[in-house]
Amino acid sequence: MITYSFYESDNRVLRYAEALAHRGDDVHVLAVRRRPDMPLEELVNGVHVHRVQDRFGKTERTKLGFLWPLLRFLVTCASRVRREHRKAPFDLLHVHNIPDFLVFAARPARARGAKVILDIHDLVPEFFGSKFATGGRSFLVSCLEIAERASAAMADHVILANPLWVDRYAARSARAEKCSVFINYVDADVFRTRPIAPAGRAPVILFPGGLQWHQGVDIAIRAFATVRDAIPGAQFHIYGDGAMKAELVALAGELGLGESVRFFEPLGLREIAAVMAQCDLAVVPKRADSFGNEAFSTKILEFMAVGVPLVISATKIDRYYFDDSVVRFFESGNADDLAQKMLEVLNDAELRTRMVRESSRFVAQHSWQRHRASYLDLVDALVSGAAVPRAAVGGAS
């Protein structure tokens, strides 16, 4: 597997890799390193993790600053694949975007018979336009669409992380029968309920994730100012990094929130799962007028799995999957409405109990344990040259 991400905290990559390793496959992951104290090579639950490039913080603010490390990673991975494939040929390479063109790192092995999966976590033209406020039909976005088509052609099969993207992706890059949909299913072995925190403490509200504009964390901080006035002692804990972190810290200071808003460094998947299980309320405040409108948030299912109620933005993708029985929606971008919904959930114990009960039922239907076999069947079909199972094509959702 090849991913320009931190393996230890990337649920999607980790889940695939461990599923293969646990059944006896020899799995290697080329990834990036979060901190200088992390080993360059490590065996993690049967998966050989190779951290081939450093990425100490997600702070890219310019197009060139974003692109240059990706190009370096592409060249490094292509060289590594070529060298390792000569020693012990790979049967399959599973390449995760962003970027799409990272799939070309698999070319040396594909030319010698290996199969290639391209996994679309995010649609790059839309993501890029949101991240850098680029116009929908700008020259650069058009170039990214060309790169998307070329990358899809390089792959034997494409996995999409979102059912809303199938028609669009098929129309511009790859026929629908070449695509499968696997959303970010929750791993019930990692995300599970734990003993609750002692009663009587002030509530803790939690956001774990990337600190980019489309995530809307600034909206949540403004809403929390109202919540703290109504519930003295309440705290808002934010785990993550990203280009907006400094601005978010400054905003909390400007609003006089002091120690009520606390920022923490990102944690590995298993560590953050334990933290999530101890909070009282989760918020997912994505902006609906951005890339976040169609970007499925894994954290929603993860919070459901650990038994924590959620207040989330009424985005297109989340309205597609959820209703008011399992979450509380607020109007995207509206800090006052978010504050009102947060207070509604925090002040109503019966509502919280009902939401947790219904969301537990929902997440049981969308666990990785229920869908893992479809992924393994897809891998086996590609490697053997058999037809891809219809259960996987266009609809493993």
* Greater pLDDT, 269 or 90: 90
Asked whether the predicted pLDDT for residue 197 surpasses 80, the reply is: no
Which of 48-62, 88-102, 110-124 is predicted least confidently?
A: 48-62
Q: Give the 3-state DSSP-derived string for the chain, with helices as H, strands as E and coil as C.
A: CEECCCHHHCHHHHHHHHHHHHCCCCCEEEEEECCCCCCCEEEECCEEEEEEEECCCCCCCCHHHHHHHHHHHHHHHHHHHHHHHHHCCCCEEEEECCCHHHHHHHHHHHCCCCEEEEEECCCHHHHHHHHCCCCCCCHHHHHHHHHHHHHHHHCCEEEECCHHHHHHHHHHCCCHHHEEECCCCECCCCCCCCCCCCCCCCCEEEEECCCCHHHCHHHHHHHHHHHHHHCCCCEEEEECCCCCHHHHHHHHHHCCCHHHEEEECCCCHHHHHHHHCCCCEEEECCCCCCHHHCCCCHHHHHHHHHCCCEEEECCHHHHHHCCCCCCEEECCCCHHHHHHHHHHHHCCHHHHHHHHHHHHHHHHCCEHHHHHHHHHHHHHHHHHCCCCCCCCECCCC
Kindly state the percentage of the chain with pLDDT values over 70: 92
Band (pLDDT 50/70/90 cuts) for residue 297 is confident
Kindly state the percentage of the chain with pLDDT values over 90: 68
Q: Mean pLDDT across the stretch 268-281? A: 93
User: How high is the pLDDT of residue 61?
Assistant: 58
| Rounded alpha-carbon distances, angstroms, from residue 1 to 95, 182, 354 | 6, 16, 40
Asked whether the predicted pLDDT for residue 194 surpasses 80, the reply is: no
How far apart, in Å, do the first and last CA atoms of the chain sit?
22
Crossing angle of helices 298-306/349-364, nearest 10°?
110
| Residue 191 in tokens | 């995300």
Asked whether the predicted pLDDT for residue 81 surpasses 90, the reply is: yes
User: How high is the pLDDT of residue 394?
Assistant: 42
User: Half-sphere exposure of 62 toward its Cβ, with a 13 Å CA cutoff?
Assistant: 3
Asked whether the predicted pLDDT for residue 228 surpasses 70, the reply is: yes
Preceding omega of 98 cis (within 30 degrees of 0): yes
Preceding omega of 99 cis (within 30 degrees of 0): yes
Q: Mean pLDDT across the stretch 66-93? A: 94
Q: Mean pLDDT across the stretch 295-321? A: 92
Asked whether the predicted pLDDT for residue 390 surpasses 70, the reply is: no
Q: What is the pLDDT of residues 115-157, one digit of tens each?
A: 999 999 988 887 776 666 555 567 778 888 899 999 999 999 9
Q: Residue 90 and residue 108: Cα distance in Å, rounded? A: 10
Task: State the burial class of residue 80 (Cβ atoms within 10 Å of its Cβ: 0-12, 13-18, 19+).
Answer: middle
Q: Mean pLDDT across the stretch 5-23? A: 93
Residue with tokens 């590995």: 268
Which structural domains are found in the chain, ordered by start? 2-185+368-384 (3.40.50.2000), 204-364 (3.40.50.2000)
CA angle 72-15-3, nearest 5°? 5
Q: What is the pLDDT of residues 238-267, one digit of tens each?
A: 999 988 999 999 999 999 999 999 999 999
Residue 151 near residue 170, CB atoms below 8 Å: no
* Greater pLDDT, 353 or 141: 353
The whole-chain average pLDDT of the chain stands at: 90
The contacts of residue 212 (CB under 8 Å, 6+ apart) are 131, 242, 243, 244
Which of 67-71, 76-80, 105-109 is predicted least confidently?
A: 67-71
User: How high is the pLDDT of residue 212?
Assistant: 87
Q: Residue 342 and residue 329: Cα distance in Å, rounded? A: 10
Asked whether the predicted pLDDT for residue 29 surpasses 70, the reply is: yes
Asked whether the predicted pLDDT for residue 102 surpasses 50, the reply is: yes
Sheet holding 179-181, edge to edge: 41-44, 47-54, 28-33, 2-3, 92-96, 115-120, 157-160, 179-181
User: How high is the pLDDT of residue 136?
Assistant: 54
